[in-house]
Structure 1
Amino acid sequence: MEHQQIQLLYNLRSIFFDHMELENGNIQYDQFVRTMLAEIKRFLEVKEVTLFKCDDWKQHLFIEASTDSDLIEPDYDSKTLYLNLERAAGRNYYYNDYPFREFKNYQLILPLKEEQKVTGLVAVKEKVPGSLSSIGAETGELLTKECTKLLETALNIYKVVMEEKRHKQLFKVTEKFHSSMSMDAVLGEIIDTLQEVYPSFVYYLMLSHDNNNHENLPIKDLEYDSENVAAMQAYVTGTIQFENSLTEKKSVLYAPLRGKQGIYGVLQVIAPNSLVFPENEVEFITLLANTAGSALENAQLYQQSKRLISDLQLINETSHRLNSNLRLSETITYMKEQIIKSFDAQETGFIFLLPSGDAKPLTGSSAFFQTKESEQYIRYSKERMDIDQESLFIGDVHLQSVDVKMRYRSLMAVPMLQSNSLRGFAVVLHKEPYYFSFEMFKLLQSLIHHSSLALANSMLREELEKLVITDHLTRLYSRNYLDEKIYQSMEEDEEGAFILIDIDDFKKVNDTYGHQVGDEILIQVAKLMHGNIRETDIGARWGGEELAIYLPRVPLQVGVNIAQRLLEKVSELSKPKVTISCGVSYWKRDSIDNAKALFKRADEALYLAKNSGKNKVLVQNR
């Protein structure tokens, strides 16, 4: 071997070891290639040395490095050239004798081969015409073999080191995965890792069921359609699937995100400008997807356990609160607030079914349920529950009632049952369609189920209390209850009016029509009283045919007006027709007074009214 040849080989090997520092993992592959080409250029005293490599993924030939920094890709059909390169496998090197017109500007071609397959070309351009003709076949073959061996060895070392780095990175990512119980953090780490390892690829996370909005993450819903057959196949079978597109010049890999208990989605990785997905990248992506699937499963199970604990706490706290002898209105208000807070509901109503079958919203429900608009939601829910007493979970009410414009689109309704009898139901609404999740629906069912008994007990307790303080015939309050409220008002309020009422000639009604009609007259007058006073006012049966009304925080003239209006209504609407007489009294805080004196003055005014013609309202001042 000539001295110059030995020196060239020595120099090339020195360059190799200078750039392949295995101990510290400092593998400078790109720099090694450039330096090797520069050494060949210097040794052969030529104008340019360029390394063309074969890309098996994209099936084309490309420039990997050149001593000419301004060199651009030649204008040739790189794919056809790639396919024709196999013809060069039987030749060692070419000097002005090569089958490819694309390299007519180069005088020396050294084909790089690995197991009889051409992996690239070293193309040399002369500085002086004919200067390379002295290189014989022996030198050319030796140079070809040495370049091939050095490039192959450097590339293999580079791949091994990079693979080690990837696995170290995978280990770090795995640590991060299992140190976080956040779905967003796990999904974000998957994308960050892929972007770092494969910056030229495109990624999407195709999740099987995901209702959350993840900021800045490329997430798709995993839906079955003709465009997602490979994705669904990966999801169903739990195995890697490939999809190659010649027209779009891309190759797609679908890796299932698999845990121990199931598959939670599919990782879609798109390799652009590739006819076949890079085989040596599949293993790393598969490992990442499997690790991510386990981490997603852990995060999801953690979130589910937290949600279940939270749900149990909600049910426990609600049950405890409802069993603490709250008033019915307080119970309903508390339940409404709990549901709005837990489900982010916009309207919540508790509907009670009266013996007549009518539906009545209970006090404490959202104000919306006291409006006319709410009737369509109440009616819709009641009609559905009358059929089978089943809960309702409607994603879009508008689709169920296309003829009626519905402002609230999402609806959940749960029956309140007592001894298998429908006593009422809870309705939860939101304007956005499909707003409530199925987990929310199941929680609402559980919440209402555990609360129904407490609600029923609260209603029964108030019914019993009302029976104690209510006259069974007229449904007006009892005398004792009226006395208590007047004493309380005289301590807390600034003024009040008291009306004492007597049905004129009531004995004559009983004697003429019988006591049953007499009772009916009392009921009629009581209903008229209810219809002409506020909820805060108190109508009571004073005794016999005498009735009474107390109007807290009302001046005397207003009390007189109410008594006069009631007098006219009784005369106009009673059947058989009767009249009433009224005595009105009044108290004010700035004067010394008491309930007994208030009653006495009203009784005196009533006595004067009955003895001066009846069917009139009189006032007795002090």
Structure 2
Amino acid sequence: MTSIPNLYGIVHQSYFELLSTITNKSYNKIEIIVILLEKMGEFLNPSSAVVYYYDEFKNIYQRMDADLNLNSKLEPKFILKEDVFKYKKNDVKITFPFTVDQEEFLYVFTFTNRKLPSEENVEFVKKETETLLKMIGKFRVKKRSNWYYQELFELSKRIFATYDMNTILKEISGRLERNYSEISYTFFLSQDTEVSASLPVKTMEYNDIETENLSTKAFQTGELQSESKPEINASYIYAPLTGKQGIYGVLEINVPLNTSFPKMGKQFLIEFAHVAGKAIEAATLFQNSKHQVSDLTIINDTSHQLNSNLDLGEIVSLLKEQIQSTCHAADVGFIKFYDEYEILSGSSAFFHTSDNMLFMDYLYKKTKAYKEPLFIGNFSDEEMLLPYRSVMAFPMVQAGKVLSLTVILHRDSYHFSFDQFKLMQAIIQHSALAMANTILKDKLKEAVIKDYLTGLYSRNFLEETIERHMREGERGILMLFDIDDFKKINDSFGHHVGDQVLIQVSSTLMNHIGPGNIAARWGGEEIAIYAPNMNLEEGYILAEAISMQVELTTDPTVTLSSGVSAWNKEMKGDQDMLTLFLRTDKALYEAKNNGKNQVIKN
């Protein structure tokens, strides 16, 4: 055994030279530990020597594979932290635990045949080694800190220069892969983000199972979490991606158990994730701002058009176009509730079929009861058998009254995003006033051009329609009907019954005049029908059919006398409204004088 004075000199000289060498060359941590292990082996002359590195994420001392030809393979691969004291009690082993700038090491020297060095020598080597390690540690910490800050600076320069999420995540991934080649990682983001499929990105799940996971805990607390999973030979680190206004996800890092992860790397990882989080936050806020500006532009443009005195059909058309371009809906329906249930023109074909009746009743009841929008991502009802899974329904409410319901459908589940739902809600709300004004305007217009008792058009409206058609059209038919002996009805049953007879006759006419034809109350008990593009013979047949039906359906029973006249561009003489009326009225007068209950054409 070397004498103490000689040992002091040898150790001082060796460690001085070693410190000079290490500070002037780029040794990595393992190389330094191996060199130091060799030196300590020379001083203490053990039969075997091995060094362990404490990994706090795995809570174990992990043996470094330093080949010193000293039977190091006889030592265990891992030592649990709580088992370290057992080595200290073994009289053929000497252990040196060192903590140098947050990094812990454990040197284990084994001696055979109880040839232990003196206690003085052991303490001296331990003290000098500890001093050397502290000096090396300070040097390495400073060097690594400079490297860390340089890495964070370079990362910040790149990712804060863009608001593109793909570019940001690619830069972060590149840094991770360059600095930690043996790890794997995944970004769990709190918001659904469209990124390249090549990036390891997933959306965070929120369910009962996930709430127990450390990744969720890291997201909720904003603190780094770690766990060891020996069964799959891995440990996991969960670093929250934290911004100034919130947490935007978690960076999950998978470290193989045979890979050391320095304690200083923990702080670097926290700072790294924080920088990444702030960049993701900036990109998210920028994209949200863009969406909001775009949404506000859409709302503003739509509102401007809605306030340009559109009729109901134009409002529906505008809304449908906006819905299709924004939501890519499969089908869109507009249901008016102002007085009665009515599917508006412009709705998709599905809303005009009998298949949708149960669904419409369901929406009608929901809307009437709650007056709130519906947002359903996976609609299912065994009774309805609806082919759609994504459903949005927006009631238009004005002064507490539901005016209409806009229904947006798609066959795929969860097709509509919440952002689309909020945008559509805003647009529908802005449309409510315009639609209310249009419906009210239509109601007022109807009140002016329609008879309040029968619901038929007024004589003035009919005359204006005939005059316009005679200027623009080719031909037409005017029919005048007079209820026979109507005065007797009033005298015998009273005017109330007379009014009911008028309503019955008017209803029969409305049910039989056919599309495109107009019925109006001409005056008193006289009713007129104008049929554009019909010839005289067709008008005569229609008048007879109506007269027959009136006689069958009225109570008390009444009959009609009718006169029918036609006009066309080829007829000689002046063709105007007055001439057509006089000819038709003459035919009606003839029908009354010839015994009533008949049709005369002129």
TM-score scaled to structure 1, two decimals? Answer: 0.72
**1:417-432 paired onto structure 2 within 5 Å:** 417-432=397-412
Cα deviation, residue 462, structure 1: 1.0
Cα gap change, 1:294 to 1:544, in 2 (>3 Å): same
Letter matched to residue 414 of structure 1: F
- Candidates 132, 151, 154, aligned match of 1:172: 154
| Change beyond 3 A, Cα 1:618–1:239 | same
Using the alignment, how far apart are the partners of 1:599 and 1:193 within structure 2?
Answer: 91
Q: Deviations over 1:39-58 (max 9, x none)?
A: xxxxxxxxxxxxx9988769
What SS class does the counterpart of residue 283 from structure 2 fall into? Answer: helix
Q: Deviations over 1:166-197 (max 9, x none)?
A: 64443333223222223343334333332333
Instruction: Give the fraction of aligned pairs with identical amino acids, expressed as a percent.
Output: 37
Deviation at 1:419, TM superposition (A): 2.7
Q: Which residue is equivalent to 2:11?
A: none
Task: Name the SS of the counterpart of 1:447 in structure 2.
Answer: helix
For residues 208 and 166 of structure 1, what CA distance do their matches in structure 2 show? Answer: 27
Query: CA shift at 1:275, angstroms?
Result: 7.1
Query: Does residue 464 of the first structure (1) align with residue 444 of the second (2)?
Result: yes
Q: Which residue of 2 aligns with 1:232?
A: 216
Does the C-alpha gap of structure 1 residues 79 and 365 become closer, same or farther in structure 2, counting only changes over 3 Å? farther
The answer to whether the 8 Å contact 2:375/2:391 transfers is yes
Given that residues 245 and 275 in structure 1 are in contact (C-alpha distance below 8 angstroms), is that contact kept between their aligned partners in structure 2? no
Amino acid of the structure 1 residue aligned with 2:544: Q
Given the alignment of the two structures, is residue 193 of structure 1 paired with residue 175 of structure 2, yes or no? yes
The aligned residue for residue 107 of structure 1 is none
1:223 maps to what in 2? Answer: 206
Per the alignment, residue 543 of structure 1 pairs with 523
> Residue deviations 1:9-32, cap 9 Å, x none?
xxxx9xx99x9998xxxx7989x9
Query: Do the aligned residues in 2 keep the contact of 1:581 with 1:606 (CA within 8 Å)?
Result: yes
Matches within 5 A, 1:128-277: 167-210=149-192, 212=194, 215-217=197-199, 218-226=201-209, 229-274=213-258, 277=261
* TM-score between the two structures when normalised by the length of structure 2: 0.74
Counterpart of 1:595, as a letter, is D
- Aligned in 2, Cα 1:158/1:425: closer, same or farther, shift over 3 Å? same
**Aligned 8 A contact 1:495 1:553 in 2:** yes
Instruction: Evaluate the alpha carbon distance shift between residue 306 and residue 504 of structure 1 in structure 2; reply closer, same or farther with a 3 A threshold.
Output: same
Asked if 1:351 is matched to 2:364, the reply is no
SS in 1 for 2:396: strand
| Pair 1:176–1:502, CA change in 2 (3 A) | farther
Q: Any residues of structure 2 matched to 1:326-405 within 5 Å, and which?
A: 326-355=310-339, 358-398=340-380, 401-405=381-385
3-state SS, counterpart of residue 80 of structure 1: coil
Answering whether residue 61 of structure 2 is matched by residue 80 of structure 1, we say no
In 2, Cα distance between the equivalents of 1:171 and 1:540?
Answer: 83
Identify if the C-alpha distance between structure 1 residues 193 and 502 changes in structure 2 by more than 3 Å, giving closer, same or farther.
Answer: farther
| Residues 526-581 of structure 1 deviation map (CA, whole Å, 9 limit, x = unaligned) | 11222223453211112222212222234444434433332222122111111223
Rate the CA distance shift 1:225–1:394 in 2: closer, same or farther, 3 A: closer
For residues 514 and 164 of structure 2, what CA distance do their matches in structure 1 show?
A: 55
Q: Secondary structure at the match of 1:247?
A: helix
Please tell me whether the aligned partners of residues 416 and 425 of structure 1 are also in contact (alpha carbons under 8 angstroms). yes
Shift of 1:164: 5.5
Residues in 2 aligned to 1:157 and 1:411: alpha-carbon distance in whole angstroms: 64
| 3-state secondary structure, aligned to 2:219 | helix
Q: Which residue is 1:128 aligned to?
A: none
| One-letter amino acid of the structure 2 residue matched with residue 80 of structure 1 | P
Cα 1:29–1:233, aligned 2, differ >3 Å: closer, same or farther? closer
Aligned to 1:595: 576
Contact 2:215 2:238 in 1 (8 A): yes
Aligned residue identity for 1:562: L
Deviations 1:389-424 (A, max 9, x none): 3333333331xx443312222333333333323344
| Change in 2 beyond 3 A, CA 1:215/1:497 | farther
Matched, 1:407 2:390: no
Rounded Cα–Cα distance in structure 1 between residues aligned with 2:74 and 2:174 = 33
Gaps of 5+ in 1: 1-12, 37-51, 66-75, 90-98, 100-112, 122-151
**Compared with structure 1, are the counterparts of its residues 82 and 309 closer, same or farther at alpha carbon in structure 2 (3 Å cutoff)?**
closer
Cα deviation, 1:475-501, whole Å, max 9, x if unaligned, reads: 111112112222222333333333222
- Distance in structure 2 (CA, Å) of the matches to 1:64 and 1:191: 34
CA shift, 1:243, in A, is: 1.2
The one-letter code of the counterpart of 1:404 is M
Whether the 8 Å CA contact 1:348–1:427 is kept in 2: the answer is yes
* 5+ long unaligned stretches in structure 2: 1-16, 36-49, 56-60, 88-92, 110-133
Task: State which of 579, 589, 602 in structure 1 corresponds to 2:559.
Answer: 579
1:247-268 residue CA offsets vs partner (Å, 9 max, x unmatched): 1110111000101111111110
Q: Distance in 2 between matches of 1:292 and 1:406?
A: 45
Q: What RMSD, in angstroms, separates the aligned Cα atoms of the two structures?
A: 4.4
Which range moves more in the overlay, 596-605 or 262-271? 596-605
> How many residues in Structure 1 have an aligned counterpart in Structure 2?
526
2-structure distance, mates of 1:607, 1:362: 42
Letter in 2 for 1:322: L
Any residues of structure 2 matched to 1:253-332 within 5 Å, and which? 253-274=237-258, 277-332=261-316
Alpha-carbon separation, structure 2, partners of 1:114 and 1:393: 58
* Contact in 2 for aligned 1:251/1:277 (Cα 8 Å): no
Structure 1 counterpart of 2:369, one-letter code: I
Q: How far apart in 1 are the matches of 2:533 and 2:154? A: 74
Q: Distance in 2 between matches of 1:438 and 1:316?
A: 20
Partner residue in 2 for 1:525:
505
